[in-house]
């Protein structure tokens, strides 16, 4: 024991006269048994390492010697074994036999293989010194010894962690004092740890050594620093939280569904010519990657209707997938479905089903007033051609909205109208979502105007032009009536708009109101040849 503590190397002595034939280290065979030094008889587990002679196991390698070859008081010749076994080969070996020895404890955690022969020489010298005798030559056999991997150490990293400047010379001196061999090139130390330093595996281990020698007490106090870098990701966790929170406030429930759908649903809803089929689907009805999320929403809708729930507002944030020739792509989208009653039956007002404008209002609540909706230039197969729109921000299409086509509604066996929408989140950043603002102390003022325009003028275009002009004091400009009929010339229509005005700091005076309204009227005359209706 004292010698093992001195060298860190477990060793074992056999009675040479009890050994028959050659001594080898091998894997145990089936049903081999042996009695250990503690009088415990074991059946050695197949393929466990043993030290054996021609008759069988002499020792359970790295754990404990056998009783049959043990040294006794009448022993005259001994055979001394000093070996190295990898921690992997020793892991859990002693515990399988209910043992925990000093030898197994060390081998499981790693022994310095460079000390194996030194420890043997040391024990031989002690025996010769105190007992006398003759020593044979040392037999040495080795196989695939571990190689220590060089570790790169950057002084800049030491400086960053330590909190003060550390020079190359200071690092080099510490490494030399620790007996760590190294080379220096391009300001980086390449360090090869000695075999006995099992604790040095990565750069952080070397940084710890440098700091330890430099002295923890020499680490100066400093105020914490925080770097504020522009956010590179458009869709951060906070953005997603903001969307989910707003959709929940609007009465939507969040869906989480598989990206795999039935091929038939993809064909019915989208008529997709580039279906992405899975080679090894988890189920027959989940064999296709979805190009939109709506098929999953409709499945959830039918599931809920069949269980008596008909007021449905779903949303989901997930990826959709597309294929162009051999190229695949995915895009994160906010997708949703609205169906059923907007106002349930009650005593004070009539029940009313959700319509296109309910969903449009929800999206405006989410995205703010900076969006515009225009009738789809390209008809989406799943939508009713007369009740669909593309959604734009800054003249860039970011999504779409529409009513499920009646023929598809019937084909899918859904008894109530369905409205679908999709917003591409890759086109948006956190600043694109509507934020709560402080309630202004000044009183808002409202004016209504009606103008005559050509019947082919789109009301949404009129709203866009006024909003983009950013006329002083105008907080909102929206349409509330479209009229054609008696009193309106053929080829014309009347558009009525609400103008909401407010100053940030004070109540507006009449002259300010009239100036802003006049600017709106002049703008409409210029852009749309509009005439003010009195």
Compute the average pLDDT of residues 231-249: 76
**Residue 251 located in a structural domain:** yes
Which range has the worst mean pLDDT, 348-352, 377-381, 459-463, 508-512? Answer: 377-381
CATH number of the domain to which 485 belongs: 3.30.70.380
In sequence order, what are the residues at sequence separation of 6 or more whose Cβ sits closer than 8 angstroms to the Cβ of residue 264?
A: none
Same domain, yes or no, for 209 and 243?
A: no
**Residue 373 located in a structural domain:** yes
Last residue of a domain, one of 409, 432, 455: 432
Same domain, yes or no, for 198 and 262?
A: no
State the Cα–Cα distance between residues 201 and 327, nearest whole angstrom.
42
Same domain, yes or no, for 8 and 118?
A: yes
Same domain, yes or no, for 271 and 389?
A: yes
Compute the average pLDDT of residues 158-172: 83
Which of 136-150, 159-173, 288-302, 459-473 has maximum average pLDDT?
288-302
In sequence order, what are the residues at sequence separation of 6 or more whose Cβ sits closer than 8 angstroms to the Cβ of residue 143?
A: none
State the Cα–Cα distance between residues 350 and 121, nearest whole angstrom.
101
Q: Is the pLDDT of residue 510 over 60?
A: yes
Same domain, yes or no, for 294 and 381?
A: yes
Q: What percent of the chain lies above the pLDDT cut of 90?
A: 43
Write the pLDDT tens digit of every residue in 70-100.
999 999 999 999 999 888 888 889 999 999 8
**Residue 139 located in a structural domain:** no
Q: What is the pLDDT of residue 451?
A: 93
Q: Is the pLDDT of residue 232 over 60?
A: no
Same domain, yes or no, for 114 and 247?
A: no
Last residue of a domain, one of 218, 251, 267: 218
**Residue 229 located in a structural domain:** no
Q: What is the pLDDT of residue 475?
A: 87
Same domain, yes or no, for 397 and 251?
A: yes
**Residue 84 located in a structural domain:** yes
Write the pLDDT tens digit of every residue in 469-487.
889 889 889 889 999 989 8
DSSP string, 312-337: EEEEEEEEEEEEETTEEEEEEEEEEE
Number of structural domains in the chain = 4
Q: Please provide the average confidence, as pLDDT, over all residues in the chain.
A: 87
In sequence order, what are the residues at sequence separation of 6 or more whose Cβ sits closer than 8 angstroms to the Cβ of residue 410?
A: none
Same domain, yes or no, for 472 and 415?
A: no
Q: Is the pLDDT of residue 527 over 90?
A: yes
Kindly report the three-state secondary structure assignment for every residue of 268-287.
HHHCCCCCEECCCCCCCCCC
Torsion of CA 213, 218, 221, 222, to 10 degrees: -70
Q: Is the pLDDT of residue 40 over 90?
A: yes
CATH number of the domain to which 106 belongs: 3.50.40.10
First and final C-alpha spacing in the chain = 110
Compute the average pLDDT of residues 241-254: 92
Q: Is the pLDDT of residue 365 over 60?
A: yes
Compute the average pLDDT of residues 304-327: 89
Same domain, yes or no, for 191 and 253?
A: no
Domain assignment of residue 157, given as a range: 151-218
Strand 78-82 relative to strand 11-15: parallel, antiparallel, unpaired? antiparallel
Cβ distance 51 to 10 under 8 Å? no
CATH number of the domain to which 261 belongs: 3.30.930.10
Q: Look up residue 129 and give its DSSP letter.
A: H
CATH number of the domain to which 186 belongs: 3.30.56.10
Compute the average pLDDT of residues 336-350: 85
**Residue 54 located in a structural domain:** yes
Q: What is the pLDDT of residue 303?
A: 93
Same domain, yes or no, for 249 and 211?
A: no
**Residue 231 located in a structural domain:** no
Same domain, yes or no, for 423 and 449?
A: no
Band the pLDDT of 1: cuts 50, 70, 90.
low
Same domain, yes or no, for 50 and 164?
A: no
Q: Look up residue 418 and give its DSSP letter.
A: E
Q: What percent of the chain lies above the pLDDT cut of 70?
A: 93
Q: What is the pLDDT of residue 507?
A: 85
């Amino acid at each position: 024991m004292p010698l093992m503590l001195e060298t860190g190397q477990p060793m074992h002595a056999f009675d040479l006269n009890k050994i028959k034939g050659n001594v080898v280290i091998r894997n145990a065979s089936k049903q081999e048994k042996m009695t250990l030094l503690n009088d415990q008889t074991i059946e050695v587990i197949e393929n466990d390492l043993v030290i054996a002679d021609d008759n069988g196991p002499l020792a359970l390698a790295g754990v404990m010697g056998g009783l049959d070859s043990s040294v006794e008081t009448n022993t005259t010749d001994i055979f001394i074994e000093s070996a190295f076994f990898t921690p992997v080969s020793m892991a859990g070996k002693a515990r399988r036999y209910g043992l925990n020895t000093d030898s197994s404890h060390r081998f499981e955690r790693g022994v310095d293989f460079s000390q194996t022969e030194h420890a043997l020489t040391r024990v031989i010298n002690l025996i010769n010194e105190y007992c006398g005798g003759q020593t044979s030559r040392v037999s040495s056999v080795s196989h695939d010894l571990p190689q220590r991997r060089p570790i790169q150490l950057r002084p800049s990293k030491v400086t960053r962690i330590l909190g003060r400047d550390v020079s190359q010379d200071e690092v080099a001196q510490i490494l030399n004092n620790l007996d760590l061999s190294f080379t220096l090139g391009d300001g980086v130390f390449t360090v090869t740890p000695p075999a006995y330093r099992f604790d040095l595996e990565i750069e952080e281990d070397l940084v710890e050594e440098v700091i330890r020698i430099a002295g923890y007490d020499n680490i100066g106090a400093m105020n914490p620093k925080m770097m504020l870098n522009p956010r590179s990701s458009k869709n951060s966790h906070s953005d997603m939280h903001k969307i989910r929170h707003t959709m929940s406030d609007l009465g939507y429930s969040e869906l989480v569904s598989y990206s795999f759908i039935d091929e038939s649903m993809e064909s019915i809803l989208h008529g997709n010519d580039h279906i992405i089929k899975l080679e090894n689907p988890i189920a027959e009805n989940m064999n296709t990657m979805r190009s939109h999320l709506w098929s999953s929403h409709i499945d959830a809708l039918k599931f809920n209707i069949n269980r008596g729930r008909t007021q449905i507002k779903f949303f989901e944030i997930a990826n959709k997938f597309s294929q162009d020739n051999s190229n695949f792509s995915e895009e994160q989208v906010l997708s949703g479905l609205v169906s059923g009653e907007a106002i349930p039956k009650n005593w004070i007002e009539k029940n009313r089903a959700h319509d296109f404008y309910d969903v449009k209002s929800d999206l405006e609540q989410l995205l703010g007033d900076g969006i515009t909706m225009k009738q789809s230039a390209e008809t989406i197969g799943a939508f009713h051609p007369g009740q669909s729109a593309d959604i734009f921000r800054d003249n860039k299409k970011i999504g779409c909205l529409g009513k499920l086509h009646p023929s598809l509604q019937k084909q899918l066996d859904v008894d109530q109208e369905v409205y679908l929408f999709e917003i591409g989140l890759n086109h948006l950043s956190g600043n694109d979502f509507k934020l709560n603002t402080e309630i202004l102390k000044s009183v808002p003022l409202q004016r209504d105007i009606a103008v005559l325009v050509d019947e082919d003028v789109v009301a949404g275009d009129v709203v866009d032009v006024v909003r983009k002009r950013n006329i002083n004091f105008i907080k909102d400009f929206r349409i509330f009536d479209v009229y054609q009929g008696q009193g309106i010339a053929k080829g014309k229509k009347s558009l009525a708009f609400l103008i909401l005005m407010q100053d940030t700091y004070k109540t507006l005076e009449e002259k300010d109101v009239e100036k802003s309204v006049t600017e709106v009227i002049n703008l409409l005359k210029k852009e749309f040849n509009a005439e003010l209706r009195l």
